[in-house]
Amino acid sequence: MNIKQTDKIRLRFAPSPTGYLHIGSARTALFNWLYARKVGGQLIIRIEDTDRSRHIEEAIVPILESLKWLGIDWDEGPDTGGKYGPYRQSERTDIYKEYAQKLIDDKKAYICFCGPGELSTRRKAAESGGRIFKYDRRCLSLAPEAIAGKIKDKQPFAVRILVPDNKILRFKDKVYGNISVNSDTIEDYIILRSNGLPTYNFSVAIDDILMKITHIIRGEDHLSNTPKQLLVYSALGMDPPVFTHLPMILGSDGQKLSKRHGSVSIESYREEGFLPGAIVNYIALLGWAYDEKSTIFSAEELIEKFSLESINKKGARFDYKKLLWMNGNYIRKIDDAKLKEMLTGSILKYMDSMDPSVFLKNAPGLEETIKRIIPLIKERIGTINESLDWMMPFFTKIEYSRDMIEYFDNKSIDPSLILSEILNRIDPLKDDFKSSNIEADLRKISDEMGLAFRKLAEVLRIALWAKKVSPPLFETMEILGYKIVIERINNYLQILAGK
């Protein structure tokens, strides 16, 4: 078996298909990709799917699709192949058995017949006596004949690695520095289960060796696994890779990031209308920084500036508002023609799910209207989906909430009087319904009524938009058109009269 390493820098991202791609996993994939591309190395995708109790086969394709959507590509993987495959652990079980047998032959592992029930009883006995349970190696002394007999009798067995006594396991982490662990704190852990499947620390180490991985970048939750994996490297006479463990991503409250902090999967953010460039830019800054002030980076700039030495060991806080701000920044960089294409696709998809009866009969043309709307909302939206709130009232009927119907009840103005005056005065504009003419006319009405213009605008905005906030009022009225403006004012007046 040839297990020599290579001078070529090789990294891997190895997701477990237990669900969608999490923000934390996406950051791990990104950091591996950035470093591989920076140093001219290779990135391998490996699917770690031997934990059958949590395995979701249908999750594999969405994980790979999310990576591609983010712009993360790879050189070898389950979909692209490569000379070090297979790239799914479930297809490598014979390899793990082969290496487990090699360790047994070299007296560095041994067969264990102690079943889960027996081990549980001994663990409880130790704990009740105030002792920390550690496997006592009782199967290590079994004679070859006894082992052969038990196997012949089809007794289930696992394989345990033989951990050297009192050996200091040392490694240098790029983030956490020099780390050492005494082997006496590690029991002879199982490397091959009785069902023939490998345990995590064994399969990972074997795969990293055979796939010639030189650098491992992963979350800090794997720090405790590293000494166990070093034992496999040592048993096979291999030098370990360079380790970099990334700080945990925390929620805004300082606790581990979870669903209670908002969306945590890339799939969710994609559905919400976030842009891949913004997601990549933001998660790159979770635990890494180029300097104290730079925040906006293209993928090319991230590759150029990224370094393992600049990763901070302090937990990174996920700030949804900052991500939203960054996404808005990216939206504003999009060419209007491209943004029109994106918004049209988004709004058509949304309309497909709506009842046709809600659409306006006199609604302006879709694409031309979106083109006119973009300058009004581009500076205001944080996501593509958020644009729907700003665009849909141009095409669909509006509904007034109870708050908007009663909004003026305790205020010193009469909305019905204001809207009636507007109706009486706006008719001459119907053949030249332009924003500049509309503004001049409304300001004149405001002056003649002795009413602050902001109050008139507030009444009109609620009548036309059913909300206190809308796109710029005059331009909105021009795009809606004279007929719809008059119709909405009348509808609101009727509602106010009948409340």
- pLDDT, tens digit (0-9, with 9 covering 90-100), for 370-397: 999 999 999 999 999 999 999 999 999 9
Tell me the pLDDT band of 51, cut-offs 50, 70 and 90: confident
Per-residue pLDDT at 360 exceeds 90? no
Question: Strand ranges (DSSP E) for 107-256?
Answer: 109-112, 158-161, 168-173, 177-182, 190-192, 215-219, 242-246, 249-250
The tokens of 233 are what? 């490297």
pLDDT at 131: 87
Residue 97 CA to residue 103 CA, distance in Å, equals: 10
pLDDT in tens, 313-359: 999 999 999 999 999 999 999 999 999 999 999 999 999 988 988 88
* DSSP assigned state of 293: S
Residue with the two structure tokens 């021009």: 478
Q: For the domain made up of 93-245, give the CATH fold.
A: Rossmann fold (3.40.50)
pLDDT at 364: 67
pLDDT at 2: 36
Per-residue pLDDT at 260 exceeds 70? no
Tell me the pLDDT band of 79, cut-offs 50, 70 and 90: very high
Question: Strand ranges (DSSP E) for 65-145?
Answer: 109-112
For 34-51, what is the mean pLDDT?
96
Residue % of the chain over a pLDDT of 70: 97
Q: What angle do CA 318, 319, 322 make, to 5 degrees?
A: 135
Per-residue pLDDT at 1 exceeds 90? no
pLDDT at 5: 43
pTM comes to 0.90
Per-residue pLDDT at 236 exceeds 80? yes
H runs (alpha helix) in 106-159: 116-128, 144-152
For 424-436, what is the mean pLDDT?
93
Residue with the two structure tokens 């982490």: 173
Homologous superfamily, domain 1-84+247-333: HUPs (3.40.50.620)
Residue 206 CA to residue 94 CA, distance in Å, equals: 12
- Domain map (residue ranges) of the chain: 1-84+247-333, 93-245, 334-394, 402-498
Per-residue pLDDT at 222 exceeds 80? yes
Residue with the two structure tokens 């889960």: 116
Residue with the two structure tokens 């079994």: 142
Residue 473 CA to residue 467 CA, distance in Å, equals: 12
Active-site residue, selected from the candidate residues 8, 107, 172, 259: 259
Tell me the pLDDT band of 130, cut-offs 50, 70 and 90: confident
Closest CA to 65 of 84, 45, 51: 45
Q: Is 259 a catalytic residue?
A: yes
Tell me the pLDDT band of 59, cut-offs 50, 70 and 90: very high
When the pLDDT of each residue in the chain is averaged and rounded to a whole number, the result is: 93
Residue 417 CA to residue 349 CA, distance in Å, equals: 40
Same CATH fold, 93-245 and 1-84+247-333? yes
Looking at domain 402-498, does it have CATH number 3.30.460.10? no
Give the per-residue SS3 of 318-336: CCHHHHHHHHHHHHHHCCH
